[in-house]
Amino acid sequence: MDRREGLKGFSAQLWADTLRETRRKRPLVYSITNFVAASFQANAALAVGARPVMSRNPSESREIAAGADALVINTGTPTEESVEAIRGALSGAGEGKCILLDPVGYGASSYRKSLIDSLISEFTFSHIKGNVSEITLLAGEKGAMTGVDAVLTASPPAAAVRRLSLRTGSLVCATGETDYLGDGKSVLAFSGGSPYMPLVTGSGCVLGTLMAVLSAGAGNDPAAGASCAIVLLRLAAEIADRKASGPGSFRSELLDALFRVSPEDLLEEQNRMTVKE
């Protein structure tokens, strides 16, 4: 990767190297996450060679975070204890490791909105990854949110990604039929995948896990890890789609595909990415 080009310099070679290194290093990823997606996220982490650990207990979150190679903070199904655990983990994580925020349900309640706003203002995240509604609202767009994946009429996702990245300093990803990934300078768009993806609960949470894991595998490079995760998941989804006969079998096939995709397979994936702005 030519660092002078920033995000635009991403190449398929970088993704192949990232996946290879991740499988070799077996990063320890600590997730504080919701109980709906937790099992799926743990299985996805294992499928790409990582070692997942999960706990929502404030008496141990600081210590576990300190020892982990990467951190995933997912705000789904929060409890009083899990929120305290999140704060402990973020305080104790230490320097130099990737910390991803998945602001699940931003806008679904004023409680969730306050929680996420305060986390962003108090702590620094290497990545913020949400669905397009969450990212758009976080970027300051007005709009009605219903449930956890509402579709808004709003400005284009790429603009929201850029704006939120400029405000937070985080690499930002907005997921949807197209995934947008951007820092303050450029925004990339990623295509492909499968229409089954939004029909499997936790598939967005899985992307967050993969981003954190692969960023650690890439030597704590948030952009290499995030782009590799998007490409890997979309390729795996296409493989799974061809074998699946519905969302139930798709979920199993997706884990199989995440396990089977090789670094070499990613070398063919350059065209999945386009520079949006």
Stretch that binds a copy of itself, among 17-25, 52-60, 130-138, 263-271 (CB under 8 A): 52-60
If binding is defined by CB under 8 A, does position 149 make contact with a copy of itself? yes
By C-beta, is 119 or 255 nearer to a copy of itself? 255
Q: Strand ranges (DSSP E) for the chain? A: 28-32, 51-54, 70-74, 98-102, 127-131, 171-175, 179-182, 187-190, 273-275
In the structure encoding, which two tokens stand for residue 41, read together?
């996220």
DSSP 3-state percent helix, strand, coil across the chain (nearest 5): 50, 15, 35
Angle at the Cα of 195 from the Cα atoms of 194 and 197, rounded to 5 degrees: 75
**Under rule CB under 8 A, how many of the chain's residues touch a copy of itself?**
62
Name which of 128 and 254 has its Cβ closer to a copy of itself. Answer: 254
Q: Smallest Cα–Cα separation from 206: which of 223, 230, 222?
A: 230
CB of 233 to a copy of itself, least distance (A): 14
Site track for a copy of itself across 248-277, x = CB under 8 A = xx-xxxxxxxxxx-----------------
Under the criterion CB under 8 A, does residue 148 sit at the interface with a copy of itself? Answer: yes
Residue 97, both tokens: 């490791």
- Under the binding rule (CB under 8 A), the answer on residue 158 touching a copy of itself is no
| Cα torsion 74, 75, 80, 85: sign | positive
Cβ(212)–Cβ(22) under 8 Å?
A: no
98 binds a copy of itself per the rule CB under 8 A: no
Residue in this structure with the two tokens 């595998």, named with its chain if needed: 217
- By CB under 8 A, tell whether 99 contacts a copy of itself: no
Residues between 190 and 219 with contacts to a copy of itself, criterion CB under 8 A: 198-202
Among residue numbers 5 through 34, which ones bind a copy of itself (CB under 8 A)? Answer: 28, 34
* Cβ-count burial 168-198 (b if 16+ within 10 Å, e if not): bebbbbbbbebbbbbbbebbbbbebbbebbb
One-letter amino acid at 72 equals: V
Q: How far apart are CA 263 and CA 266, in angstroms?
A: 5
CB of 269 vs a copy of itself, minimal distance in Å: 19
- Give, as ranges, the residues between 56 and 95 that touch a copy of itself (CB under 8 A): 56-57, 59-60, 63-64, 67-68, 76-81
Q: Compare residues 1 and 205 and give the one whose CB is closer to a copy of itself.
A: 205
Least distance from a copy of itself to the Cβ atom of residue 114, Å: 9
Whole-number Å distance between alpha carbons of 271 and 32: 34
Interface residues toward a copy of itself, by CB under 8 A? 28, 34-40, 42-43, 46-47, 51-57, 59-60, 63-64, 67-68, 76-81, 105, 108-112, 146-149, 198-202, 244-249, 251-260
